[in-house]
Amino acid sequence: MNQQFLNSFREALEIEAEDDLNATDKFRDLEAWDSLARLSLIAMLDDEYAVEIEEDAFEKLDTVEDIFNYVQENRT
Amino acid sequence: MALLQYSGVKISALAGAVPANCITNYDYTANFPAKDVKDIVDRTGIKERRFAPAGMTASDLCFAAAEKLLVDNNIKREEIDVLLFVSQTPDYRMPATSVVLQNRLGLSKQTAAFDINLGCSAFIYALSAAYAYATQPNIRKVLVLDGETRSRVYHPKDRSTAFLFGDAGVAALIEKDPRVGTSYFSLNSDGSRAELIKIDAGGYRNPSTADTLKEKVIDEHGNIRTDEHGHMNGPDVFNFVLREIPKDLKRLQAFANKELSELDYYLFHQANDFMNSYLAKKLKLAPEKTPSSIAKFGNTSSVSIPITMVDQLQGQLSGSKNLLLCGFGVGMSWASAIIPTLDCKISELVELELRNDAL
């Protein structure tokens, strides 16, 4: 997974610079994760990757890397 | 493809009413911790909402707005030949609220009156119908009354919807004016996404029973509602808006042969500030041409576009202006329009108190 995605993810969720964020983190366990973070993520994915993840697909994703992989597979 | 155009028709006057009863969202903490409430309010930008007290309906708000409009503009009631009432919170299941309002407003028995049942797209749908009627030679004036008591649709213990919705009503007068150019409309529907925003029970598919009125925990977060309250899949609504709205505006611009940048104001359905701001940024719209009333009234469904005009464009629609209107939501149903205005008179907002003599 590339650093740029991790940075964008961090920015979308407003995760402080000193807090760790790893590709293998389960994003729903992050303190910054809530329903509003989900909306920020939708905006980030639209803005930077032009990718949409509907809820049915999103529910199957677990880690930050899962989101990255989904984006890679579905970029047009 | 539902692309429509009408020439020589305009919104000549507009008035709005909200309940005087004002809810401060930061203090709406009876069911959730204050910190969570603050996070939600900060992100949605919805600072205040108006809640109709028990006994006040959407049609009461529309009636107050209509009286204000008729009196302020010296409109002869006998000249109103069509009355459209737009709402998903009508007074009764039958008769149609529009017919009740025909009598209450003292309109002629030769008035055509019917209801339109749509949500956040409905004002634009109703305008397209009003414009069609107004072009008829025997139709003098069309009155569109659009009201919602959306505060009652959602459960205060369901955090996905508890902080968003409010109540309001408007009256818009539509009539011919040969000096006005062409208005363009694009109307759309996608029933495959009906589940995204829905009240499951209380209609005729799933009739009201003791069970449908029971409070239930509906998810792992402990949110509570009954089957007769609305629910909303916020993320997929946002996905839907980002997918469909830019496409629709592209279609509309091509149809109208106009660029958004040429227009004077962009009036969007007021969903929440996060979504509206992102959409405006994505569409590269100038913030000073994109009025918002989300902080004061929240999401009032179909009323949000015209109540934003009443609240934010007071005195701004004298002379000739071009507006973009764009609404999207429950259905899913979405609509956009580019309409020219000419001296559209906007009355002062009415703040309605509950009166015992209300119908």
**CATH number for the domain that contains residue B298:** 3.40.47.10
CA B155 to chain centre: 20
A75 pLDDT tier (thresholds 50, 70, 90): confident
The yes-or-no verdict on residue B355 having pLDDT over 90 is no
- Residue A44 preceded by cis peptide, ω within 30: no
Chain B interface with A: residues with Cβ < 8 Å: 39-40, 43, 159-160, 233-236, 238-239, 242-243, 274-275, 278, 282
pLDDT at B358 over 60: no
Q: Which two tokens stand for residue B281?
A: 């940024």
Q: What is the pLDDT of residue A48?
A: 94
B282 and A47 in contact by Cβ < 8 A? yes
- Closest Cα of chain B to A75: distance in Å? 14
Q: Which domain holds residue B185?
A: 1-359
Options B62, B120, B326, B344, the catalytic residue? B120
* Dihedral angle computed from the Cα positions of residues B336, B62, B315 and B294, in that order, rounded to the nearest 10 degrees: -60
Cβ distance B297 to B311 under 8 Å?
yes
Instruction: Please give the Cα distance from B146 to B88 (Å, whole number).
Output: 10
| A32 has a chain B CB within 8 A of its CB | no
For residues B167 and B51, the answer to whether their CB atoms sit within 8 Å is yes
The architecture (CATH level 2) of A3-74 comes to Orthogonal Bundle (1.10)
Whether B120 is a known active-site residue: answer yes
pLDDT of residue B354: 87
Say how far apart CA B190 and CA B197 lie, in whole Å: 12
Contact A42 B242 (CB under 8 A): yes
Q: Which residue of B has its CA nearest to A48?
A: B282
Average pLDDT of B15-23? Answer: 97
Residue of B nearest to A42 (CA): B239
B159, B243, B278 ranked by CB distance to A43: nearest: B278
- For residue B40, what is the nearest residue in chain A, using CA coordinates? A36
Which pLDDT score, from 0 to 100, does residue B300 have? 98
Contact status of A30 with chain B (Cβ, < 8 Å):
no
- The 3-class secondary structure across chain B, one letter per residue, is CEEEEEECEEEEEEEEEEECCEEEHHHCCCCCCHHHHHHHHHHHCCCEEECCCCCCCHHHHHHHHHHHHHHHCCCCHHHEEEEEEECCCCCCCCCCHHHHHHHHCCCCCCCEEEEECCCCCHHHHHHHHHHHHHCCCCCCEEEEEEEEEHHHCCCCCCCCCCCCECEEEEEEEEEECCCCCEEEEEEEECHHHHHHEEECCCCCCCCCCCHHHCCEECCCCCCEECCCCEEECHHHHHHHHHHHHHHHHHHHHHHHCCCHHHCCEEEECCCCHHHHHHHHHHCCCCHHHCCCCHHHHCECHHHHHHHHHHHHCCCCCCCEEEEEEEEEECCCEEEEEEEEEECCEECCCEEECCCCCCC
Between A1 and B171, the higher pLDDT residue? B171
**Listed residue (B93, B114, B91, B26) closest to B295, CA to CA:** B26
Q: Is the pLDDT assigned to residue B209 strictly greater than 90?
A: yes
Stretch B315-343: mean pLDDT: 97
All structural domains of chain A with their residue ranges = 3-74
Q: How many domains does chain B divide into?
A: 1
Annotated catalytic residue: which of B155, B229, B231, B269?
Answer: B269
Query: Using one digit for the tens of pLDDT, what is the confidence trace for B129-152?
Result: 999 999 999 999 999 999 999 999
Q: Are B115 and B96 within 8 A, CB to CB? A: yes
Task: Tell me the average pLDDT across B302-324.
Answer: 97
**pLDDT at residue B357, as a whole number:** 55
Token pair, residue B258, equals: 């106009």
Structure tokens at B167: 């109540």
Q: What average pLDDT does range B18-26 have in this prediction?
A: 96
From B223, B272, B276, B299, the catalytic residue: B299
Note whether ipTM > 0.90 here.
Answer: yes
Distance from the A39 Cα atom to the nearest Cα atom in chain B, whole angstroms: 6
B269 in active site? yes
Task: Tell me if A55 and B233 make a contact (CB, 8 A cut-off).
Answer: yes
Q: Nearest CA to CA, how far is A54 from chain B (Å)?
A: 6
Mean residue pLDDT across chain B: 96
pLDDT at res. A44:
96
Is B299 labeled as catalytic in the residue annotation?
A: yes
CB contact under 8 A, A52 and B40: no
| pLDDT of residue B87 exceeding 60 | yes
Least CA distance to A54: which residue of chain B? B236
- Residue B356: pLDDT band by 50, 70, 90 thresholds? low
pLDDT in tens, A3-49: 899 999 999 999 987 788 889 999 999 988 988 899 999 999 999 99
B81 token code pair? 């030949």
* Beta-carbon separation of A36 and B278 below 8 A: no
